[in-house]
């Protein structure tokens, strides 16, 4: 499997990158982003560019890839809807549309969020924009999966780049074992996210649908761990 990865410098993306590099079924990873990763691996090629959506600049031939894991995103805190939409909707579709047109057999995994509103009419700006993004991706002619994680727990030293989230993780870390006991499927480890993405892109995997909630992601990630 050859994978294009967006957002590999973020907490979820870095966890996904780690699992891709560890998984024997993944032969090649192209990480596209604005900042260098500081990671070296025989499987990994980086394209650092000001416009991550410029696939030509990254030298991408869509026919050479089996999957695209789109983990790129920003927090909506303090952002106007127009600015948030440019990153969340416009950038995502600028990548997805040419991939779908050139390679309908490709699997596209988009990191959305629990609480995303598929109707696109939510009072919560982020949920509304994410919902419209999901809908647009699901209309494209490739295999698209929307990952809606709840609480993503960074593991193996994978940090969040957002200061607020780093603070929240530090404060709530002692409570995670309790949350796991009360609601075991609410918390997803960053490694489970990566394993689940590889699973849905692997032919023959039984996937419950195109919108995957925390329980689905944990199940797929656990199944990949046992494979």
Question: So what's the pLDDT on residue 195?
Answer: 95
In this structure, the number of other CB atoms found within 10 A of the CB of residue 123 comes to: 7
Question: So what's the pLDDT on residue 121?
Answer: 82
> CA of 152: how far to CAs of 29, 64, 73, 100, 180, in Å?
23, 31, 14, 28, 12
pLDDT digits (tens, 9 = 90+) for 39-85: 999 999 999 999 999 999 999 999 999 999 999 988 888 899 999 99
Q: Which domain holds residue 203?
A: 2-226
> CA of 169: how far to CAs of 103, 152, 165, 207, in Å?
38, 9, 6, 30
Q: Domain of 22: which CATH number?
A: 3.40.50.720
pTM: 0.86
> CA of 159: how far to CAs of 29, 77, 90, 143, 151, in Å?
21, 19, 26, 30, 14
| Cα–Cα dist 90/168, whole Å | 29
Instruction: Quickly list H helices, the chain.
Output: 11-22, 81-85, 91-102, 125-138, 163-172, 176-182, 190-200, 214-226
pLDDT digits (tens, 9 = 90+) for 141-181: 999 999 999 777 665 455 545 554 444 444 445 554 544 55
12: left (phi over 0), alpha (psi -120 to 50) or beta: alpha
pLDDT digits (tens, 9 = 90+) for 175-216: 545 445 555 566 677 788 999 999 999 999 999 999 999 999
Chain-centroid distance of CA 64 in Å reads 20
Q: Is the dihedral of CA 34, 40, 43, 45 positive or negative?
A: positive
pLDDT digits (tens, 9 = 90+) for 75-124: 888 899 999 999 999 999 999 999 999 999 999 999 998 889 988 788 99
Instruction: Quickly list H helices, 39-161.
Output: 81-85, 91-102, 125-138
What token pair was written down for 147? 């990952």
Query: How many domains would you assign to the chain?
Result: 1
Lowest mean per-residue pLDDT among 5-9, 75-79, 131-135, 217-221: 75-79
């Amino acid at each position: 499997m050859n994978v294009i990865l967006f957002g590999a410098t973020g907490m979820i993306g870095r966890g996904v990158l780690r699992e891709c590099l560890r998984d024997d079924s993944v032969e090649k990873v192209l990480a596209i982003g604005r900042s260098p990763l500081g990671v070296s691996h025989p499987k990994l090629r980086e394209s650092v560019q000001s416009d991550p959506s410029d696939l030509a600049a990254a030298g991408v031939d869509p026919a050479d890839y089996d999957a695209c894991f789109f983990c790129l995103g920003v927090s909506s805190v303090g952002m106007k809807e127009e600015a948030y939409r440019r990153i969340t909707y416009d950038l995502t579709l600028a990548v997805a549309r040419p991939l779908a047109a050139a390679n309908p057999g490709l699997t596209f995994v988009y990191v959305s969020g629990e609480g995303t509103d598929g109707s696109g009419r939510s009072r919560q700006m982020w949920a509304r924009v994410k919902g419209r993004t999901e809908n647009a991706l699901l209309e494209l002619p490739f295999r698209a999966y929307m990952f809606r994680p709840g609480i993503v727990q960074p593991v193996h030293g994978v940090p969040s780049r957002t200061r607020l989230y780093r603070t929240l993780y530090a404060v709530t870390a002692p409570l995670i074992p309790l949350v796991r006991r009360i609601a075991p499927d609410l918390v997803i480890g960053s490694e489970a996210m990566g394993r689940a993405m590889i699973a849905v892109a692997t032919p023959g995997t039984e996937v419950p649908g195109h919108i995957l909630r925390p329980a689905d992601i944990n199940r797929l990630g656990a199944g990949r761990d046992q494979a």
